[in-house]
Amino acid sequence: MYQTCRRTRLLLLLCTAAVLTGCVTPVAVRSMSAQLVRTQLAYSLSLRAYFAAVEKFADAQVNIADYRIDEITAQMNREFGKRAGSGLGQAATPEERQRIIDQLVKDVAGNTSADLPLKRKITDAVASLKQRDRELEAAYLVILTASQKLDEYIRLKKADETAILDLTRAVGLNSEKITAIVDEIATISQDLALSMTKTP
Amino acid sequence: MMTIDELLTQLSDLSLKLELTPDDATKFDLQILILQLRRQVAAQAFDPLSTLANSSVEVEQLKLLMPQVDQAILTEQNRVMLVARIVSLAKIALRAAGVTVAG
């Protein structure tokens, strides 16, 4: 009976020594790591929704800009038409009239084709926005994956923890409790160290 | 330096002042110029989007480091298996020696 008690105490001592010397990840670190991954995951979903809303808004703005450009172009064409009409009224010869008509056709064609580069510029700008959104999404996915990997490592049962777990099982103690106790010991030690430095 | 918006405002003001004057080539040219500028302004509203291409997030290093963490996880898992096996063998040996060990 006395021997069993001694062995148990010895095992407990071994456990404590192993816990104190081993690299058991503190509970607070594990919790924060898991929470960080959850937060980043939620953030990535918000980011995707945000990009989708901005892109919808940009698409609507493209339609409005196209409509506005078409409207201005039509107004300019009307101005060219008015000028040609006025010129035709004053033209004395058929050649002169033909020259005015040719000029009108040229002006209207030039004016209408001037729209295309502007509309292309707008389409390209919005396409670049969408492309950047995809790049940022992809980059954030890499960041999230890296966080998940780190979390996986942090929450991984380490070799020394396995040894401790087996030892603690032998004496009927929970390794999580020991980890929490070690955290408390570390906090107390820190408080002690601080109070010692403050003491004159 | 005058912006396109400022120029457009000034030209529009001038066009209003000329409203009652008889039509001529310069008045026509002014009207066309104002309309051209309005069209440019409509398109220029999208210019800020072109600056987006200048910003980037560097994640290549993370991509390179991730397989190393994978390897560290694998190594640790192997170590865990090894330690568990050693502890298990030690328990068997202790029991064989007559020591009572739980678990």
The arithmetic mean of pLDDT across residues A94-104, rounded, is: 95
Number of structural domains (chain A) is 1
All residues at 6 or more sequence positions from A132 whose CB lies less than 8 Å from its CB, including other chains = B52, B53, B55
The boundaries of the domain holding residue A31 are 14-198
Model pLDDT, residue A40: 96
Of A69, A129, A149, the CB nearest to B52: A129
Cα separation, A161 vs A23, in Å, equals 8
Which chain A residue has the Cα nearest residue B25?
A83
- Please give the model's pTM, rounded to 2 decimal places: 0.70
**Of the candidates A115, A122, A136, which has its C-beta nearest B57's C-beta?**
A136
Chain B nearest-CA residue for A117: B43
Confidence of residue A20 (pLDDT cuts 50, 70, 90): very low
For residues A15-36, give the mean pLDDT: 73
Quick one: A159 exposed, middle or buried, by C-beta within 10 A (0-12, 13-18, 19+)? buried
Chain A (34-53) residues lying within 8 Å, Cβ to Cβ, of chain B: none
* pLDDT for position A4: 52
Which of A68, A128, A156 lies closest to B49 in CB terms? A128
Domain membership flag for residue A1: no
Residues of B within 8 A of A72 (CB-CB) are 35, 38-39, 42
Yes or no, beta carbons of B46 and A75 under 8 Å apart: no
A194 domain-assigned: yes
Q: Judge contact between A162 and B83, C-beta under 8 A.
A: yes
For residue A165, being part of any structural domain is answered with yes
Instruction: Please tell me the distance from the alpha carbon of residue B43 to that of residue A121, in angstroms, as a whole number.
Output: 7
Predicted pLDDT of residue A169:
66
Choose between B9 and A2: higher pLDDT.
Answer: B9
B59 within 8 A of A136, measured Cβ to Cβ: no
Are the Cβ atoms of B56 and A135 closer than 8 angstroms? yes
- pLDDT tens for chain B, 103 residues long, are 888 889 999 999 999 999 888 888 899 999 999 999 999 999 999 999 988 877 778 999 999 999 999 999 999 999 888 888 888 888 888 888 887 776 6
In a domain, A72, yes or no: yes
- Which of B15, B83, B91 is most worth mutating to test chain A (most A CB atoms within 10 A of its CB)? B83
The predicted pLDDT at position A198 comes to 67
* Predicted pLDDT at A107: 96
* Cβ neighbours of A62 in B, within 8 Å: 46
A59-70: average pLDDT: 97
Domain membership flag for residue A181: yes
Residue A166: which of B103, B93, B16 has the closest Cα? B103
pLDDT at B100: 77
Q: Is B32 on the interface with A (CB under 8 A)?
A: yes
Q: Using the beta-carbon criterion (under 8 Å), do B46 and A122 form an inter-chain contact?
A: yes
Q: Do A125 and B79 touch (CB under 8 A)?
A: no
DSSP string, A41-88: HHHHHHHHHHHHHHHHHHHHHHHHHHHHHHHHHHHHHHHHHHHHHHHH
Instruction: Determine the 3-state secondary structure of A9 from DSSP.
Output: helix
A127 inside domain: yes
A95 by Cβ neighbours in 10 Å (0-12 / 13-18 / 19+) ranks as: exposed
Evaluate if residue A85 carries a pLDDT over 80. yes
Q: Is A4 helix (H, G, I), strand (E, B) or coil?
A: helix
Rg for chain B, CA atoms, rounded = 40
Complex ipTM tops 0.90: no
pLDDT in tens, A141-185: 999 999 999 999 998 888 777 776 666 666 555 656 666 666 776
User: Which residues of A, range 126-145, sit inside 8 Å of B by Cβ?
Assistant: 126, 128-129, 132, 135-136, 139-140, 142-143, 145
User: Residue A93 has what DSSP assignment?
Assistant: S
Cross-chain Cβ contact A75/B35 below 8 Å: yes
Nearest to A174 by CA among A182, A1, A23, A187: A182
